[in-house]
Amino acid sequence: MKKVSDLFNIQYGVNLEYYKMEESDTGIPFIARGSTNNGCVGFVKEIEDIEPNPANTISVSVGGSVLESFLQKNEYYSGRDLLYLSPKLKMTDRQMLYYCMILRANKYRYSYGRQANKTLADIHIPDISEIPNWVEKIQIPQKPIIKPFFENDLKLSDRKWEWFKYGDIFYIKNGYYNKKPDIDPLGNIPFIGASEFNNGIRSWHSIEEIEDTSKDGSEKNHDLDSKCFFNCLTISNDGSVGNAFYHPYEITCSHSVNPVYIKDKGLSPYIAMFLCTLIELEKLKWAYGRKWRPMRMPNSDIKLPVDAKGNPDWQFMEDYIKSLPYSKNLEKTYKGHLQG
């Protein structure tokens, strides 16, 4: 283990006040003490005689949201109580992100009334030689594309909407596991549970472990077709009831979620996003004491836009999502999962 000061040069950032700055869409980031959006509260016009903090440094808040740490790839201005760390040795982006994670893991030591400005340098962190091998294997998300898939001024009011029964629109499958298989950190099959976070993913497993593990740990087992699902929605029927997620990859799941497919139609990421939004609007009907069990789900109602024949207008749903900002990323992500 090393001290932060052994691996990084520690300096105070420029101490500016955001509300006095001139905002500019083409300016440089202004980093404050927040815990979201990489610490960025906006973009400001550069001031001629004030040099920004250097790029490829770690911004660390030592007050406010103490020890929120972010890798800053570009030059930036900063507010009060913010230090930046410059590595003394050459480090990759993944290694810098690892140290951001390690610094945040020390947040419990501090609070609004106990700042880190005097003690940051002495926090113990792993030496660069002690960084785990998996760090260099992680995928760093790319900056999302803001533009829509295509420009089209569609409105939800462009179509008439009608009620349908879930059982008429969807094939509703039963989830499988009462007791999930042993976790395999190197596995590539996600286990979906009744969670509202992380696309419902609770853990990762190998296909071999899934194949060998029965529903409840007993000797009676089933084939993989009963345990694994692909390119589907999952709807939680217990726990965080009513959360809906799209999975363009192979999954296994708890009995507390239901894998769902559209009848007689393949599921695209655009239609999936449209449906997930509608399904989650119904969450208020359900609770831990009123579960959305498979026997209830087929008779539940969902309101969908319809075509001239009164059928669900799947093309409109797809085109509407494609017309929204950031929609171009869905195709990229979907193809990436299919190729991966």
Q: What three-state secondary structure class fits 77?
A: strand
Tokens 């869409």, located at residue: 25
Calculate the average pLDDT of the chain. 91
Distance separating alpha carbons of residues 70 and 34, to the nearest angstrom: 10
pTM for the full predicted model? 0.71
Tokens 């007050």, located at residue: 63
pLDDT tens digits, 265-303: 889 999 999 999 999 998 888 887 888 988 899 999 999
- Smallest CA-to-CA distance from 299 within 99, 125, 164 is with 164
What counts of helices (H) and strands (E) characterise the chain?
Answer: 7, 17
Note the CATH number of domain 2-137: 3.90.220.20
Note the CATH number of domain 156-339: 3.90.220.20
Q: What three-state secondary structure class fits 249?
A: strand
Give the CA-trace dihedral at 155, 198, 37, 6, to 10 degrees. -160
Under the banding of pLDDT at 50, 70 and 90, the label for residue 9 is very high
Contacts of 306 (CB under 8 A, 6+ apart): 159, 160, 161, 162, 312, 313
pLDDT tens digits, 215-248: 887 877 888 888 999 999 999 999 889 999 999 9
Supply the DSSP symbol for 310.
S
Flag whether pLDDT at 332 surpasses 80: no
Tokens 């008439």, located at residue: 160
Q: Residue ranges of the domains in the chain? A: 2-137, 156-339
Longest dimension (CA), the chain: 74
Dig out the tokens for 307 from the structure: 């075509």
